[in-house]
Structure 1
């Protein structure tokens, strides 16, 4: 099955200039833990609820802090025409819960989450991805691992 068959289409976007308060409200409104960050028609980052907690609140930054100060600028993504099972394996390898989905022109067309995979492909691919995501030493590890990659 292709990613385009399971992804969430027309994702809400954040701007680097949005405040973290606005982004948190949007996340609450749509019940999501992450938003792609775009500038013009370019995907420039991802911001997660965890980014807001760890990179803003824990460091004493206020609610008017711009997203650009807390987002993860390195964006991992997948293509809409890739096989879901392969993307699920990749998500486990790179330890992310969700990926922006782009077309071959690299324009954002959706988001693929572990939940989307579990609903479409069953528990095996999603479980395998989760096992990879959960292994120690990921980018949001409490063991002090590196801080690069997408905000997952």
Structure 2
């Protein structure tokens, strides 16, 4: 099974110029802890609720701070035509619960989460990935 069969396609995005307050409101409104930061369809980074807390709130930054100053710019991703087992293995290796999904032109087309993979109920892939993701950081 391929990623494009299970990924979330309707992904809320932020602009690098959006403020952390605007992005936090988007997260609240869509009940998500992560939003890709894009310039058009090109991913510039990902911002999580944790990024906002650790890189903005804890440092006393203004709510008007551009999200580009607190986002994670090293985005982990997979391709929409990748096999779900390969994506689960990558999540386990990187200890992440979601990946940006790109087309072969490197445009954002969705997000895949460990939950998306788990819903497929395939063999031990999800359990193994979750176990490895949950291990203490190996770095």
Give the TM-score normalised by the residue count of structure 1.
0.86
Match of 2:110 in 1: 110
Runs of 4+ in 1 over 6 A off after TM superposition: none
Q: How big is the shift at 1:62?
A: 2.1
Once the two structures are superposed, the pairs formed by residues 9-48 of structure 1 within 5 Å of their partners are 9-48=9-48
Could you list the runs of 5+ residues in structure 1 that have no partner in the other structure?
A: 139-144, 146-152
Work out the CA distance in 1 between the residues paired with 2:42 and 2:87: 22
Match of 1:50 in 2: 50
Match of 2:84 in 1: 84
Work out the CA distance in 1 between the residues paired with 2:136 and 2:125: 20
Could you list the runs of 5+ residues in structure 2 that have no partner in the other structure?
A: none
Q: Comparing 82-91 with 129-138, which one deviates more in the overlay? A: 129-138
* 1:65 alignment partner, SS class: coil
* 1:23 alignment partner, SS class: helix
Work out the CA distance in 2 between the residues paired with 1:87 and 1:41: 21
* 1:136 alignment partner, SS class: coil
RMSD: 1.5
Q: How big is the shift at 1:123?
A: 7.5
Count of matched residue pairs? 139
Work out the CA distance in 2 between the residues paired with 1:124 and 1:80: 22
Work out the CA distance in 2 between the residues paired with 1:54 and 1:87: 27
